[in-house]
């Protein structure tokens, strides 16, 4: 089975597909209508030499578009969630809940926390969708 490098263009495309295949996400996020950017902060030692984000154009339970963004563009969405590689990896491995990670300060949120909490189930379903992607983590194969 082919694996996709975490946060690569191919992985991002598969993530959008997985979101659209998730009936649970569609139901949980039926009222969500804002873009969301997930930022992976710089981790040069494992192949991420700069901050990069995944821009998710999410609207009423659907992913209309997903793409890699960098720099200022990543900060333009109404909701931006930033974290380091190891935090994102723990979330994908279900070792850390995304909302708990925000509360603990492991993830930084730009946007209204009240709205994020209201859509906590949608956040969990995004994680479930991401978990369906065969993912290659750079630190598990010995480097970038």
- Tell whether the model's pLDDT for residue 144 goes beyond 70: no
Residue with tokens 């070792």: 95
Residue with tokens 């379903």: 125
- Predicted model pTM: 0.93
Domain ranges of the chain: 4-131
The correct CATH number of 4-131 out of 3.20.20.70, 3.40.50.1240, 3.30.70.100, 3.30.1050.10 is 3.30.1050.10
Q: β-pairing, 36-40 with 79-83?
A: parallel
End-to-end CA distance of the chain: 20
Tell me how far apart the alpha carbons of residues 65 and 46 are, in angstroms, rounded to a whole number. 27
Q: What is the pLDDT of residues 34-43, one digit of tens each?
A: 999 999 999 9
């Amino acid at each position: 089975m082919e694996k996709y490098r975490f946060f690569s263009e191919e992985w991002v495309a598969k993530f959008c597909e997985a979101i659209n295949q998730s009936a649970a996400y569609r139901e949980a996020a039926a009222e969500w209508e804002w873009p969301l950017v997930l930022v992976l902060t710089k981790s040069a030692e494992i192949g991420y030499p700069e901050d990069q984000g995944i821009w998710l154009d999410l609207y009423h339970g659907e992913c209309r578009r997903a793409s890699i963004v960098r720099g200022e563009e990543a900060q333009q969405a109404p909701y931006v969630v930033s974290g380091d590689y190891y935090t994102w990896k723990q979330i994908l491995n279900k070792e850390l809940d995304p909302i708990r990670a925000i509360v603990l300060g492991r993830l930084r949120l730009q946007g209204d926390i009240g709205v994020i909490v209201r859509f906590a189930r949608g956040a969990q379903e995004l994680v479930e969708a991401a978990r369906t992607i065969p993912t290659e983590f750079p630190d598990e194969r010995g480097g970038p």
